[in-house]
Amino acid sequence: MEGTKIATRDGFGEAIVELGRKNKDICVVDIDIGKSCKTGAFAKELPEQYLNVGIAEQNGAGVSAGLATAGKIPFVVTYAVFGSLRMCEQIRQEICYPKLNVKIACSHGGVTPANDGASHQSIEDMGVLRTIPNMTVVMPADYYAAKKLVAKAAELYGPVYLRFTRDAIPVIYDENQEFEIGRAVTLREGGDIAIIANGDTVRLALEAEEKLSSQGIRAKVLDMHTIKPLDKEAVLDCLRGIGRIITVEDHNILNGLGSAVCEVAGEEGTGHVKRIGIQDQFGQSAPYERLLELNGITTENIVETAKSMLK
């Protein structure tokens, strides 16, 4: 399936059914958006483990907290912009403060909602939620990563925010790839520059590595699927062994992956980091690839940034 394009929300939809079959404590709290967030199959096959609370995100968070206190493992499902911002107070007070076992599973992360417009493009969600204590923040890079990381989230006790893409993105892993929350995956080895990406931008990092390699530049590529807890050791290895890092993300460059990496670099007191991502601005109603281009989230910009850092 490598090279095939599938949205990570599809991987979530399949994974949650598989998990629900095996564990009757797994349940879905749907915010009346099952078609878009791919929970329809779960509702059909496992109706006793499914609850649709309607268009009421804050209520969904509260209901999920209640289910968790009764020993259930609820996945509350909605769009990223609503799951992070509209539900934020309930996530902080009712889920993270008591450290309840609730998973917030959100599709339409970043600018992948594209033509839905700026109001539906969640560009600050991971940054907002990573600042809340007890929260784990994960964004899979492809279909297989989504399936594996959803399963890992179900095993991990405590609040987890899972961010998925609306648009189809290339499959880069095979079904045997293993993942661990909080541990980056090294996709390419190199000693000249490190490219750390997550989610739908990992494919751009890999494309950039190929172009740099053809020009004699060896780039290390990391899939930092978990930005909290960040794999600090992987970042430190890049800082100490290479000294130059480019971060790439479909998220505001403020308080996302780039900021998390810069925090490590700042505390270490070494290295040079350049951030590529949403340039602290709202999106527009435009095709997905065009929105990435408007923010410099492109293979070409990664390549040029790498070459400028090596001068």
What pLDDT is attached to residue 36? Answer: 86
For residues 210 and 250, what is the distance between their CA atoms, to the nearest angstrom? 21
Q: Establish whether 57 is a catalytic residue.
A: yes
Q: Please, what is the average pLDDT of the chain?
A: 95
Under the banding of pLDDT at 50, 70 and 90, the label for residue 113 is confident
* pLDDT given at position 151: 98
Q: Express as a percent the part of the chain with pLDDT over 70.
A: 99
**pLDDT band at residue 9 under the 50/70/90 scheme:** very high
pLDDT for 187 equals: 98
Interval 20-49: pLDDT, tens:
999 999 999 999 888 888 999 999 999 999
Contact 157, 205 (CB under 8 A): no
Q: What is the pLDDT of residues 63-88, one digit of tens each?
A: 999 999 999 999 999 999 999 999 99
Band of residue 2 on the pLDDT scale cut at 50, 70, 90: low
Mean pLDDT to the nearest integer, 275-295: 93
pTM of the model: 0.96
What pLDDT does 128 receive?
Answer: 97
pLDDT above 80 (res 1): no
Confidence of residue 203 (pLDDT cuts 50, 70, 90): very high
Q: What is the pLDDT confidence band of residue 118, given thresholds at 50, 70 and 90? A: confident
Report the pLDDT averaged over residues 1-15: 90
Tell whether the model's pLDDT for residue 231 goes beyond 70. Answer: yes
Across the range 294-307, mean pLDDT stands at 97
**What is the average per-residue pLDDT within 84-94?**
96
Give the per-residue pLDDT at 112.
87
Catalytic residue among 57, 124, 209, 249: 57
Tens-place pLDDT, residues 120-171: 889 999 999 999 999 999 999 999 999 999 999 999 999 999 999 999 999 9
